[in-house]
Amino acid sequence: MAKPSSPKHPGAAATSSALTRLRELATAANPPTARPAAKPKAKKATAKAKKATAKAKKATAKAEKATAKAKKATAKAEKATAKAEKATAVTPVGEAHTPTAAPELSTGAGVLSRVSAMLARVPSEHIAAPEQPVPHLISEALALQAVARRYADKLGKIGFSEAMLDGLQLYAQALHEAQAQLDLLRGKHITQAEQKTYVQASELRSQLLLGGRLVLRKDRKALEALDAIAEGDGLADLARDLLDLALVVESYSVQLERLGLGLQTAIKARELAKKLTEKLNAQKPKTDAERAAEELRNRAATVLQELIAEARLGGAYLFRKEPRVALLFTATHLPRRRGSR
């Protein structure tokens, strides 16, 4: 039979409790250390944050540099604009390629009498009839003068002086007056009906020449024929031109019909040519006054044509690398070729 266990000693329980308490105190005083793997992870995050900060600073610096460059470009543009506005204030101009409106001419301006002494000094061998209808020649001179005045400083550097620039308008006015005097003298020999016929014939001739050049612009031989027809001056030449143009209409009737210049126009041209020829057959010889007026008109035309040629050559040279500007100095009316007839 087992022996009954004897009761524990009262002091043993107290000792056990004291040891347990000491272990708890020791554990509280020395807490478990952090895992070694946590340290490298924190360092990696810190390095990544520093790298991102450096990248942000670099981007900021780049943006500041771009802003400075943009400000510099803006300042340069503003400077250029101010310069352009200053130039515009000195020499007013219109649109980029739109000539300034030409001044109005008057037959009573009295310019012809002021320059008559100058015109009398033009050598006889240099005198030539107008290369194109006088209204066209005057229009060319005034349009060119408006363009050339924009670039007067540059033209002056290559010898086209301010006096020559003013001469374009001066001699255009003189030619206008000289032609008016000649027309007045010629008008004394014709009736009102004959004058009306002459006006109709001149307008039809111009219409057919312009229309022909438009629809036949790609036909070199046809254009040469039109240039030859465009030569000459006076009633005899006008009558001959109408007969030649009637043949052109009949030869290119399909093309010209699109402009309303069909075969009926050819018939009209022949009728007007016949009336002019009848007038010529009954015409009296030119008077001395008429011959003198015609020579004065030709002298004014000669001087004006020389000024136009010099201005065009100067503009073509100055702006040889700027075709859009050089185009402003080219003729808008085709000059006639001498010696074709």
Residue closest to 107 by CA, chosen among 183, 194, 201: 183
Q: Are 99 and 143 in contact (CB under 8 A)?
A: yes
Q: What is the CA radius of gyration of the chain?
A: 48
> What H or E segment, with its residue span, contains residue 237?
helix 235-251
User: In angstroms, rounded to a whole number, what is the distance separating the alpha carbons of residues 181 and 196?
Assistant: 18
Q: Please report, to the nearest 10 degrees, the dihedral formed by the alpha carbons of residues 143, 146, 150, 155 taken in order.
A: 70
pLDDT per position as a tens digit, 167-213 = 999 999 999 999 999 888 876 666 778 778 888 888 899 899 989 98
pLDDT per position as a tens digit, 58-93 = 766 765 776 666 566 556 545 654 544 443 333 333
Query: Residue 301 pLDDT > 90, yes or no?
Result: yes
Q: Are 197 and 272 in contact (CB under 8 A)?
A: yes
% the chain with pLDDT above 90? 22
Which of the residue ranges 94-98, 182-186, 322-326 would you say has the lowest mean pLDDT? Answer: 94-98
What was the pLDDT predicted at 229?
A: 85
Query: Residue 337 pLDDT > 70, yes or no?
Result: no
